[in-house]
Amino acid sequence: MTTPLEFSAPTNLSEVNLNPRGKVHPSPTDWRDQTLYFLLPDRFSDGEESKRPLFDRHHPEDWKTLDKVAWMKAGTKFSGGTLKGIESKLDYLKDLGVTTLWVGPVWKQRCDLETYHGYGIQNFLEIDPRFGTRQDLRDLVDAAHERGMYVLLDIIYNHTGNNWFYQDENGQPTDTRSYCYSPAHPVAGWRSQTGDCIANPQSIEDGVWPQEFQNWEWYTRAGKIEHWDADPWENVMHPDVEFRRGDFFDLKDLCLSKDEVLSAVIKVYQYWIALSDCDGFRIDTVKHLPWEASRSFCGAIREYTESIGKENFLLLGEVTGGATTAKTYLDIFGLNLDAILDIGEPPKKLMELVKGFTNPQDFFNQYGGVDELGSHRLAGQYHVSILDDHDMVGRDGKYRVSANNNIPACYEQTAHTVGVQLTTLGIPCIYYGTEQAFDGNQNRHDFSLEPGADLAITIDRYIREVMFGGLFGAFETSSCHFFDPNHPTYLRIAAIARLRDQKSPVGLALRRGRQYLREISVNSRSFFWPTPGQVVGWSRILFTQEVVMALNTNGVESQSAYIGVDSSLHPAGSQITVLYNSAWNDDQLRHPPTSETLTVELYQNRTAVHLNLPPAGMVILA
């Protein structure tokens, strides 16, 4: 039985109740069995899609907004997505093959600022009313659990919102100061609900809450970060480097080296576990946390969750800066993060593999210890595979995988980029809208219509489109929604995800099996490792089960190839079943035929299957 929530949120940490509000939902046995879906609450759904038309992908130009200036400006403001809206789309997500939601930050933001993304917290113990209520959050988690799904909450404890003002050189209030190691910059006062500078918070909308955070000594007050990485001669883990002490632009850095500050944020997020019954945290900006602070936080959260019956609560960290930095925060003994987001180079390699831009071995070699994270990738449980996301860190611009893609097979190519995630090592994560082939990119900005805009600050908006039909809809639209379960990309992702999620030997092999890149043969040539633009084959093997994937990385031409398979598992003359074929029609994608097979041949002294793949086509065999 779930206990209804109290009417108002606590205002002091002393009032926080850490007893679970209802029956505690157990954690997954192994997070490798999950398929994640990341969404921003403001941009996903308001639950009112039935009142708006569905976008017609066959005539996209007919749906473009007539006022692009208004469309661009709408991207910088709250759009109206809610927790109730997310709950209303759980069946849409379950049918896609999603098993775990990663929900962007829902904590209360400043009422006077447009931090729609949720990363500028004003009240750590409350839900932003634009997203809903604490009860709405618990209802969402309960509804997900009823469907066999899990929920990760996106948390921030490196910094708070822009809740107070520095003093500038003339003694006037200012949002930011240049970075300075010492002494700490002077403070002018708290930010009021109208954006004015005041001496003390007068209401729950002023300053920052809970009350314990209204202490100037809890903040580093070092000014904004200007050098986002360590210099080559600096110890990257040193707690005093600039990127660990400075503010995120105007978001104020917390001094986590103080025990009382770290203890406070630990209690804050233990409270949200007790209240929401969530199943894990995605932890923001981990690189900017001192290593010791991260370890202490993770240890305290893990101890609390184990005490209430969540034995495998996931602590997933965002660690920018490459494999070397990421690996320092991973700890296979459970003393720090459980897993990291594989951002930066890996998503770029994934995209370039599927589009035929790079040597396939560049992607598959990541799992063989080429960089410092290689052995962790090989285990599969320590990294979450990301393709698109809300930041696109490490990519040479802000753009989704579907951006600037005009090939006829663009929908299939996008689906199969996710398909590679679903069939290679790691925990796959889909970014909202990718299943509808959203094509957001920074080039949608028109400087002639918005002169003087700071592109470096504003371009994130173009990869954070509204899905439910608000003023900042995808493809430069407004007032139409994009929840189309018949979209070619959605159907293909769903078909592959269903295979991965099976409790059968095939599903287990796709989630936990060893991984091998396969040699190919074309035009009677001897077998060789595939090159850019050719058919790529790979296997997942678990005990006696081999699953074979083949992908045409040429997006405009059909291709044929022999793909090598394991001779002990698939001897010559045996039959191998086609589990997925991207050329199937919509009904076949939903209800795969069971009689389609291929014969394993003895070809050039090895066992292989011969495949004909359309542009960007993909098959899965077992």
Q: What is the DSSP string of 94-158?
A: HHHT--EEEEPP-EEEPTTS--TTS-SEEEEEEE-TTT--HHHHHHHHHHHHHTT-EEEEEE--S
Mean pLDDT of 431-449: 95
Give dist(CA 82, CA 269) in Å, integer: 21
Q: Is residue 236 part of a domain?
A: yes
Residue 372 has pLDDT above 90, yes or no: no
Q: Is residue 192 part of a domain?
A: yes
Regarding whether 232 and 270 lie in a shared domain, the answer is: no
In which element (H, E) is residue 338 found? Answer: none
* Of 495, 522, 551, the domain-final residue: 495
The total number of structural domains that make up the chain: 3
Residue 236 has pLDDT above 60, yes or no: no
Q: Is residue 584 part of a domain?
A: yes
Q: Is residue 3 part of a domain?
A: no
Give dist(CA 606, CA 593) in Å, integer: 28
Residue 6 has pLDDT above 70, yes or no: no
Residue 349 has pLDDT above 50, yes or no: yes
Lowest mean pLDDT among 172-186, 236-250, 438-452: 236-250
Structure confidence at residue 304 (pLDDT): 98
Distances (CA, A) of 175 to 3, 168, 380, 385: 41, 9, 43, 36
Task: Count how many residues are written for the chain.
Answer: 622
Regarding whether 476 and 327 lie in a shared domain, the answer is: yes
**Confidence band, pLDDT 50/70/90 cuts, at residue 233:** very low
Structure confidence at residue 362 (pLDDT): 95
Domain hosting 567: range is: 504-621
Higher local confidence (pLDDT), 453 or 297: 297
Strands (E), 10-120: 36-39, 100-103, 107-109
The CATH number of the domain where 342 resides is what?
3.20.20.80
The answer to whether the pTM exceeds 0.95 is: yes
Higher local confidence (pLDDT), 532 or 367: 532
Calculate the average pLDDT of the chain: 94
Residue 143 has pLDDT above 90, yes or no: yes
Mean pLDDT of 426-452: 94
- Residue 92 pairs with which residues in a beta bridge? none
User: pLDDT by residue (tens digit) across 454-464?
Assistant: 776 679 999 99
Per cent of the chain over pLDDT 90 is 85
- The single-letter code of the amino acid at 594 is T
Regarding whether 419 and 307 lie in a shared domain, the answer is: yes
Residue 368 has pLDDT above 90, yes or no: no
Structure confidence at residue 457 (pLDDT): 67
Q: Is residue 212 part of a domain?
A: no
User: pLDDT by residue (tens digit) across 464-493?
Assistant: 999 999 999 999 999 999 999 999 999 999
Residue 319 has pLDDT above 60, yes or no: yes
Regarding whether 375 and 314 lie in a shared domain, the answer is: yes
Among 12, 9, 247, smallest CA distance to 108 is for 9
Three-state SS for 567?
Answer: coil
Regarding whether 313 and 454 lie in a shared domain, the answer is: yes
Cβ neighbors of 486 (< 8 A, separation 6 or more) are: 586
Regarding whether 546 and 482 lie in a shared domain, the answer is: no
Regarding whether 356 and 239 lie in a shared domain, the answer is: no
Structure confidence at residue 333 (pLDDT): 63
Regarding whether 365 and 475 lie in a shared domain, the answer is: yes
Mean pLDDT of 534-550: 98
Q: Is residue 605 part of a domain?
A: yes
Structure confidence at residue 601 (pLDDT): 98
Residue 231 has pLDDT above 60, yes or no: no
Structure confidence at residue 243 (pLDDT): 87
- Residue 314 pairs with which residues in a beta bridge? 280
Structure confidence at residue 148 (pLDDT): 98
Residue 344 has pLDDT above 90, yes or no: no
* Of 495, 512, 527, the domain-final residue: 495
- Residue 549 pairs with which residues in a beta bridge? 538, 620
**Confidence band, pLDDT 50/70/90 cuts, at residue 453:** confident
Contact 469, 479 (CB under 8 A): yes
The phi, psi pair for 129, rounded to 5°, reads -60, -20
- The single-letter code of the amino acid at 165 is F
Mean pLDDT of 209-224: 98
> What one-character-per-residue DSSP string does 457-517 give?
HHGGGGGS-BSSS-TTBGGGB-S-B---TT-HHHHHHHHHHHHHH-SSHHHHHHHH-EEEE
Residue 183 has pLDDT above 90, yes or no: yes
* Of 495, 512, 537, the domain-final residue: 495
CB atoms within 10 A of CB 22: 14
Structure confidence at residue 232 (pLDDT): 47
Structure confidence at residue 2 (pLDDT): 64
Regarding whether 124 and 107 lie in a shared domain, the answer is: yes
Structure confidence at residue 437 (pLDDT): 98
Cβ neighbors of 66 (< 8 A, separation 6 or more) are: none
User: pLDDT by residue (tens digit) across 264-288?
Assistant: 999 999 999 999 999 999 999 898 8
Q: Is residue 7 part of a domain?
A: no
Strands (E), 229-338: 280-283, 314-317
Angle ∠(499,503,504) on CA atoms, nearest 5:
75
User: pLDDT by residue (tens digit) across 546-601?
Assistant: 999 999 999 999 999 999 999 999 999 999 999 999 999 999 999 999 889 999 99
Three-state SS for 419?
Answer: helix
Regarding whether 468 and 546 lie in a shared domain, the answer is: no
Q: Is residue 6 part of a domain?
A: no
**Confidence band, pLDDT 50/70/90 cuts, at residue 235:** low
CB atoms within 10 A of CB 286: 28
User: pLDDT by residue (tens digit) across 97-112?
Assistant: 999 999 999 999 999 9
Regarding whether 326 and 458 lie in a shared domain, the answer is: yes
Regarding whether 286 and 361 lie in a shared domain, the answer is: yes
